[in-house]
Amino acid sequence: MRVVLVGMPGSGKSTVGRSLAHRLQLPFADSDAAIEQRLGCAIRDYFDREGEAAFRDVEQTVIDELTQGPPGVLATGGGAVLWPLNRQHLHERGTVIYLRSSPETLFRRLRHDTKRPLLQVDDPLARLRALYAERDPLYRQCAHFVLDTHGSSMSMLLGRIMMQL
Ligand code: S3P
């Protein structure tokens, strides 16, 4: 079984993914961590040096590989759904769950974040709103299930995911 988590930065993909993998006794992978391992540097540094398009190329290769490997739980980067081929690979090769959170909730979680290059702007809330407007339809297109994270504890989220698998 392969379970894939998609959603905006700060939606809890890695945290939920790790707990879910533990519960299912499956290995956990995080596409951002795999990308950093491959690049040998932080995503933010790579973005600064090479630009977003170069990062998306690496991301696509890593996602293609990770979705063909052994079963497991995969947390993806927030922009992974931007490329149609990624959406197709993720949808065909796993059960995809969209962890949905509002831009306001994401902002509360990420206001002090310095890791995410796309949020290093004067008005991160406006940026999150714009990214959300662009991506929410793409997450929905890629996902088999949408899970609203608002007001849900980790154990509630895990329970709801387990019911869908
Ligand atoms: C990105 C989200 C990040 C990371 C990169 C780009 C995005 O992952 O892949 O900084 O485009 O939203 P998280 O969703 O884990 O923050």
Specify the range with the lowest mean pLDDT, choosing from 22-26, 57-61, 98-102, 110-114. Answer: 110-114
Regarding an ipTM greater than 0.95, the answer is: yes
Q: Alpha-carbon distance 52 to 46, whole Å? A: 9
Ligand 1 centroid to Cα of residue 50, in Å, is 16
Q: Is the CB of 35 under 6 A from ligand 1?
A: no
Given a contact cutoff of 8 angstroms between Cβ atoms, the answer to whether 149 and 13 are in contact is no
Per-residue model confidence as pLDDT tens digits over 116-134:
999 999 999 999 999 999 9
Q: Out of 4, 6, 13, 32, give the residue to mutate to test ligand 1, the one with the largest number of ligand atoms within 8 Å of its CB.
A: 32
Query: DSSP characters for 123-163?
Result: -HHHHHHHHHHHHHHHHHHH-SEEEE-TT--HHHHHHHHHH
For position 141, what pLDDT does the model report?
A: 98
With a 6 A CB cut-off, is 79 part of the ligand 1 pocket?
yes
The mean pLDDT of 19-38, rounded to a whole number, is 97
Q: Which helix (H) or strand (E) holds 29?
A: strand 28-30
- What integer is the mean pLDDT of 68-86? 96
Angle ∠(133,74,140) on CA atoms, nearest 5: 30
pLDDT at 69: 85
31 CA → ligand 1 middle, Å: 10
* pLDDT at position 52 over 90: yes
CA of residue 36 to ligand 1 center, whole Å: 12
Phi-psi region of 72 (alpha: psi -120 to 50; beta: other; left: phi over 0): left
